[in-house]
Amino acid sequence: MAIQRVTQHMLNQRSVGALQSGLSRLSKLQEQLSTGRVLNRPSDSPTDTTSAMRIRSSIADVKQYGRNANDGDGWLSQIDSALTSANDQVLRARDLALQGANSGSSGPTAREALAAEVDQIRSGLIDTANSSYLGRPVFGGVTAGPKAYDATGTYIGTAGAVNRTVSAGTTIRVDVDGQQAFGATGSSVFDHLSALSTALRAGDQAGISASISALDADRNQITTTQTDVGARQLRVEAAIQASSDDELKLSTSLSSVENADLPKTIVDLQMQQTAYQASLAATSKVMQPSLLDFLR
């Protein structure tokens, strides 16, 4: 039976190796406590590092969806405000037409004043139709120009949808075609206001009555468009909330993978410090500092 001889050199090597291992564990815990993270480099845990990278990628996607939804909400809020103003202006023009239709109390001077106000309403409505968000006309489609309508009320926008992707596979249109809201050129609300102004100045009762009917249809068209905008805005707001909730969930998941449990880390560090001090004390007795100690 072979007997293995344990030399002082072997004791020294094993003792120093144990000390280095303990010091390495102590250093790792100190780093986790100072950074607050258990993942400070990929070698700490390749599996958790892969999971963290995937979660971070998902968080970046969710944040972008949130930014898209917020931008879309800005577009739709501007459109809703513009359509509310347009509806009020058309309603005021209709009231003026009703006043002008009262031939018994409306003389030429009164009708001229009514027509002048209608002209002002038409100009204001064109300005409303040229409402913009971040420099882009909200009723101009995909036009690169700053306006959807020229000074005559002619549509100069470019047909096309402005969309925003608010979640994976979900795209919402955030603009409105001006011709959908205000009518096509030739039969638009601007044309009807021009016809009303002309009829008021001429005292044309039939023309005034026709303008009243046309303005009623224009108001219905604006209201229908505004209803559609409201429905889309509800979807965008829901997407904003969903994005916020998803970001919170993913951030919590990332924290559970990357961040250190500080109370547990503090306890582990104290235990490791105690173990390291004990190792130092034991090693100091095993490692003989001199030949005299070895001969004893």
Predicted model pTM: 0.80
Element (H, E) at 61: helix 46-101
CA separation for the pair 245, 241 (Å, rounded): 6
Residue 6 has pLDDT above 60, yes or no: no
pLDDT given at position 55: 92
pLDDT given at position 183: 94
Q: Read off the pLDDT of residues 208-261 as tens digits, 9 standing for 90 and up.
A: 999 999 999 999 999 999 999 999 999 999 999 999 999 999 999 988 887 777
Q: Read off the pLDDT of residues 168-208 as tens digits, 9 standing for 90 and up.
A: 989 999 999 999 999 998 899 999 999 999 999 988 899 99
CA separation for the pair 77, 49 (Å, rounded): 42
Q: What residues does 158 pair with on adjacent strands? A: 141
CA separation for the pair 115, 127 (Å, rounded): 19
CA separation for the pair 145, 155 (Å, rounded): 12
Amino acid at 288: Q
Architecture of domain 54-254: Up-down Bundle (1.20)
Whole-number CA gyration radius for the chain? 39
Whether residue 97 contacts residue 182, with contact meaning beta carbons closer than 8 Å, is answered with: no
CA separation for the pair 126, 149 (Å, rounded): 7
pLDDT given at position 185: 86
CA separation for the pair 114, 270 (Å, rounded): 88
Top pLDDT among 180 and 13 is at 180
Local confidence band at 286 (pLDDT 50, 70, 90 cut-offs): low
Top pLDDT among 2 and 180 is at 180
pLDDT given at position 19: 66
CA separation for the pair 187, 185 (Å, rounded): 6
Local confidence band at 94 (pLDDT 50, 70, 90 cut-offs): very high
Torsion of CA 177, 219, 121, 162, to 10 degrees: -10
Q: How many other β-carbons are positioned within 10 Å of the β-carbon of residue 30?
A: 14
Among 174, 192, 196, 173, smallest CA distance to 182 is for 192
- Domain positions in the chain are 54-254
Q: What is the mean pLDDT of residues 92-116?
A: 86
Among 161, 174, 162, 160, smallest CA distance to 235 is for 174
Whether residue 260 contacts residue 38, with contact meaning beta carbons closer than 8 Å, is answered with: yes
Q: What residues does 137 pair with on adjacent strands? A: 132
pLDDT given at position 40: 75
Q: Read off the pLDDT of residues 41-85 as tens digits, 9 standing for 90 and up.
A: 777 778 888 998 999 999 999 999 999 999 999 999 999 999 999
Mode of pairing for the β-strands spanning 163-167 and 132-133: unpaired
What share of the chain in percent tops pLDDT 90? 60
